[in-house]
Amino acid sequence: MSKNNVTRLLDKRGIPYTAYDLPREKLGALETARLLNVPPERVFKTIVVVRSGRGKPILAVVSGTQEVDVKAVAQVVGEKKVRVPPQKEAERLTGLQAGGISPLALLGRGFTVILDASATEAEFLHISGGQRGLNLRLQVEDFLQLTGARVAPIGRERPQA
């Protein structure tokens, strides 16, 4: 099992989790759900959202079946406008590779974290462990306590292709 700063922090704080090693290429949430054999609604992805003015970016956490509703995010943080940046910009802003961006790896760095309200419909969620190829299953309550995330309806179902 992979160990990194996120898993060491969870161990140190006594927070129970299950780590899953996955292929190290960038996987989407739906592919991750398939590999883990869990419903895609329980696999959450972190989308970087940039404020129109100054200030640290927002980490919007939505389920694998959703996309971020930028208007809802703007409303939660009291901004007129926010945007989802291109992948390279998101990686530069967080210092993490796409597919490994996670609020758990960015604790204490001033990011606002918003978790979609659908996460509270079950006891557990799956989320990136802060690097490609590492997925963590932990209790929603532990995630909220650790990240200080706000809970709000910020996801909308993606149109089916």
CATH code of residue 28: 3.90.960.10
With respect to residue 161, please indicate whether it lies within any of the assigned structural domains.
no
Residue 160 resides in a domain? no
pLDDT score for 22: 82
What is the pLDDT averaged over residues 25-54? 87
Establish if 135 belongs to a structural domain. Answer: yes
92-112 in b/e burial notation, b at 16+ Cβ within 10 A? ebbebbbbbbbbbbbbeeebb
Residue 128 lies in a domain: yes
Q: Answer yes or no: is 142 within a domain.
A: yes
Query: Does residue 159 lie in a domain region?
Result: no
- Burial string for 59-78 (b: 16+ CB within 10 Å, else e) reads bbbbbbbbbbbbebbbebbe
Asked if pLDDT for residue 81 goes beyond 90, the answer is: yes
**61-79 confidence digits (pLDDT tens):** 999 899 999 999 999 999 9
Question: For the segment 6-24, what is each residue's pLDDT rounded down to a tens digit?
Answer: 999 999 999 999 999 887 7
- Residue 30 belongs to a domain: yes
- In the chain, the number of structural domains is 1
The percent of residues above 90 in pLDDT, for the chain, comes to 70
Instruction: Determine the structural domain holding residue 102 and report its residue range.
Output: 5-153
Q: Would you say 147 and 113 are in contact if contact means Cβ atoms under 8 Å apart? A: yes
The whole model's pTM is what?
0.92
